[in-house]
Amino acid sequence: MKIIDFFHGNGVGENMKHVVITGSTRGIGYGLAREFLLAGCRVTINGQSQESVERSLQSLRKINPDTVEGYAARVDNRDELEQLWIYAEKHFGTVDIWINNAGIDQERKYFWEMAEEEYDKVIRTNLKGVMNGCHVAFNHMLKQGSGQIFNMEGFGSNGMMREKMTLYGTSKSAVSYFTRSLAIEAKQTNIKVGTLSPGMVATDFLRKSLDEHNRKIFNILGDKVEPVTKFLAAKVLENQNNDARIQWLTKPKVMWRFATSMISKRDIFN
């Protein structure tokens, strides 16, 4: 596995690629869409509802009204993701990059306190949604003869555990395993499969975990959306490798953040 980290430069590589991003009407997904547009790409965004898609399109079209489209689809429904691909291909042609970003958090409960509907929804979105996206994109990219698929990592991908995060961490741990194994299978094809690791990003998703105990850690290790998504988008456009892990918060960066935390105070939530 090739690790691509923060210290390896920021060139954007070849532009005018077509990028499809699931769960891209807000947060990291929206930030990625914005950065790909700024890099000159054509982008198809996705959200669960047509209202959220239209709202995001209004903003993104201020960058370039001719290079962004959107389609509402639920990632836990493979047929709807099939229609997302068809829609994207109809408007912008070949899909060069497909990013499975859509995901939901769990309620801050112990696992045994959760109803079946709650944990079923998290697994269907975070894990089956990724599998559906990979299945749709991989089969179409085989017909194209090329393409790249990236899956979004998160808490649990590195084996970290925390109370009342068991279900979410399980889903992301499974996504990491699935992606690495799929990359091995993809070696016999022209399709490249990899992961994006954004670290701790100041989204509504992260704010749900805030309390006085972990706010300090988040301010040391976390970042606002813009620098993270700018870095990730640039590295995706540069990538030529199968099984790439594009990682923002690397071990050297973590060490540097802690070493300078006493003299450099940060507040990523303001």
Annotated catalytic residues are: 168
Sign of the four-CA dihedral 231, 236, 237, 239: positive
- Among 172, 155, 152, 187, CA closest to 31: 152
**Backbone region of residue 187 per phi and psi (left: phi > 0; alpha: psi in -120 to 50; beta: other values):** alpha
Q: How far apart are CA 270 and CA 27, in angstroms?
A: 16
Q: How far apart are CA 264 and CA 38, in angstroms?
A: 30
**DSSP bridge partners of 68:** 43
What six digits make up the tokens of 11? 């060139």
What angle (nearest 5°) sits at the alpha carbon of residue 146, between those of residues 143 and 150? 110
Query: Residue 23: CB partners within 8 Å, gap ≥ 6?
Result: 29, 46, 47, 75, 101, 102, 103
User: Could you give the residue ranges of the DSSP H alpha helices within 128-241?
Assistant: 129-144, 166-186, 204-207, 212-221, 225-238
Does residue 126 contact residue 118 with C-beta atoms inside 8 Å?
A: no
Burial of residue 75 (CB within 10 Å: 0-12, 13-18, 19+) is: buried
What are the Cα distances from residue 181, in Å, to 1, 220, 245? Answer: 11, 33, 13
